[in-house]
Chains A and B, each alone.
Chain A
Amino acid sequence: KQEVTQIPAALSVPEGENLVLNCSFTDSAIYNLQWFRQDPGKGLTSLLLIQSSQREQTSGRLNASLDKSSGRSTLYIAASQPGDSATYLCAPSWNTDKLIFGTGTRLQVFP
């Protein structure tokens, strides 16, 4: 069974810190992996999508890396800001029709 684990479950840091959020998954034969952000009372916003053939993707202060062989992905957030406070979800896809989500890391960045 394919499972996704995110560590830590929650994280509270002061503004300006660089952060690493971790995602691990069983079965390395993924098609791609997405990182999402969820704000309270809102839907999910796609941040980055990494294809299985890629090692990383970058968007602004965000960098996501993928190591398929070890079943890991990390989301790096540079120079964190209070506006980054949200829950971050990773979602690998093992076939062409569905994502499987981790339970997320709840991030709080305080001024």
Chain B
Amino acid sequence: EAQVTQNPRYLITVTGKKLTVTCSQNMNHEYMSWYRQDPGLGLRQIYYSMNVEVTDKGDVPEGYKVSRKEKRNFPLILESPSPNQTSLYFCASSLSEFQPQHFGDGTRLSIL
């Protein structure tokens, strides 16, 4: 089954403790992206990647890192999480930037 898989689905952690949210897709998609969704603000792009070893900042990249060492994986790294990063995070992928994006089911992060 074609899918985008995020892990974990839920995480409660404390300020400053490094964490990684993994994202994997099995559709051989070139393009991958991370979004955060906050009430009243909608979805905002954090980082995106057009291909392996190519990443770029979205609208709200501060406090986040990403890597794209393999085509299928695009982890989101919070080196020193803070409470303002409490949010619902989505990973998405598509064949190219012109094709519909497929979304994962989301990761709800709570930073205390």
Contacts and interface: CB of A to CB of B under 8 A. Distances in A.
A103 B48 contact: no
A103 B41 contact: yes
Contacts of A32: 98
Contacts of B56: 97
Interface residues of B, number: 27
Interface of B: 4, 31, 33, 35, 40-45, 48, 50, 56, 58-59, 90, 92, 97-106
B106 to A, nearest CB: 5
Contact of B90 (A44, A46, A103): A44
Contact of B104 (A43, A91, A93): A43
Interface residues of A, number: 25
Nearest to A34: B100
B50 A45 contact: no
Interface of A: 4, 31-32, 34, 36, 41-46, 49, 51, 89, 91, 93, 96-104
Contact of B103 (A4, A43, A49, A100): A43
